Amino acid sequence: MENPTRTAEHLTRISRRQSDLTVKVASLLANHGPIVWEIGCGHGHFLTAYAVAHPNEICIGVDISLDRIERGVRKRNRAKLNNLHFLHADALDFLNALPAGITFSDIYILFPDPWPKRRHQKNRILQPEFLTAAAKRAGQGTRLHFRTDYEPYFRDTEATIDRHPDWKIVTESWPFEEITVFQSRAVSHFSLTAKREPNRA
């Protein structure tokens, strides 16, 4: 049976965690122009290289693995990159914690967990709800870049984006190549770029 005290404590913990995240995100990103966001950045291999190559862009990587984020932070500090941040957070929690007015120029999702079993597919990051939430933080020209080595996830993502009113798949070359850790283990991969559909609200 459910223990009401433990449930209340659990809800308090979640709400405290979300408000801590809101404060942290505001301190990192407030007053910045469009941001480059990597979801599931691992230990930051791709985004560190990206930030070095694009010193005028502000980049943030989020991951639910604390160990990977700590390794990313060490990389960032060693490279003394002021335009790069790593944050231990769930992607949707991060979206909900963003200060008003922050938008993304580019969103990268590289080799996300594939969740191959049908009953686990609800755990995939690329879902219609995610696309709707991300679109609210997208301006004219925002791009979403998706890459995976798991073809069924790629095909499902194509279909999900095709059906979604806020995003449109475009034919463009991949904007920045840096082999990620999971990419180095993959035999092949599939990539797509989607653009915020400008005529929709």
Ligand X SMILES: C[S@@+](CC[C@H](N)C(=O)[O-])C[C@H]1O[C@@H](n2cnc3c(N)ncnc32)[C@H](O)[C@@H]1O
Which residues contribute to the site for ligand X (CB under 6 A)? 39-42, 62-65, 68, 90-91, 110-113, 125, 180-183
Whichever of 113 and 197 has its CB closer to ligand X, that residue is 113
- Considering the candidates 93, 113, 149, 156, report the single residue annotated as catalytic: 113
Place of tokens 């791709």: 46
Whichever of 93 and 197 has its CB closer to ligand X, that residue is 93
Query: Measured from the CB of residue 28, what is the shortest distance to ligand X in angstroms?
Result: 16
Cβ neighbours for 194, distance < 8 A, ≥ 6 positions apart: 143, 144, 146, 161, 167, 168, 169, 170
Is 113 designated active site?
yes
Whichever of 9 and 67 has its CB closer to ligand X, that residue is 67
The C-alpha angle 141, 143, 97, rounded to 5 degrees, equals 100
Whichever of 6 and 119 has its CB closer to ligand X, that residue is 119
Closest residue to ligand X, based on beta-carbon distance: 40
Query: Measured from the CB of residue 1, what is the shortest distance to ligand X in angstroms?
Result: 31
Query: Measured from the CB of residue 112, what is the shortest distance to ligand X in angstroms?
Result: 6
Tokens for 170, please give them: 């475009």
Query: Measured from the CB of residue 129, what is the shortest distance to ligand X in angstroms?
Result: 12
Q: How far apart are CA 193 and CA 107, in angstroms?
A: 10
How many angstroms separate the Cα of 11 from the Cα of each of 3, 4, 6, 7, 18? Answer: 12, 11, 9, 6, 11
Q: Can you state the angle between helices 151-163 and 128-135, rounded to 10 degrees?
A: 60
Catalytic residues: 113
